[in-house]
Amino acid sequence: MDRKRFKGILSALERYQLTMREKQFVEGVEKYFHEKGKVTDQQESILEGIYREKTWIRKTFFSQNDLPRSSSSKGA
């Protein structure tokens, strides 16, 4: 994984609420990347999986088109 792709995924993941384990994993991979200048194939695979999962959840459950629209003021 090149630096540009890595930074792009990290930037995108900042927009999502991660579990404690996901946060720990991402922080660990980020530290490893800064120390070694690369990530392992396994780290890359897991990081991409977290990214895909979060984007899928957002698209599926939080799409603006799927949210119910409030009707104009109805009298109570």
Cβ-based neighbours of 41, under 8 Å, separated by 6 or more: none
pLDDT of 51-61, one tens digit each? 999 999 888 88
Upper half-sphere CA count for residue 60 (Cβ side, 13 Å): 6
Q: Find, among 60, 44, 43, 49, the residue nearest to 18 by Cα.
A: 49
Interval 15-68: pLDDT, tens: 999 999 999 999 999 999 999 999 999 999 999 999 999 999 888 887 655 555
Read off the tokens for 25: 């994993």
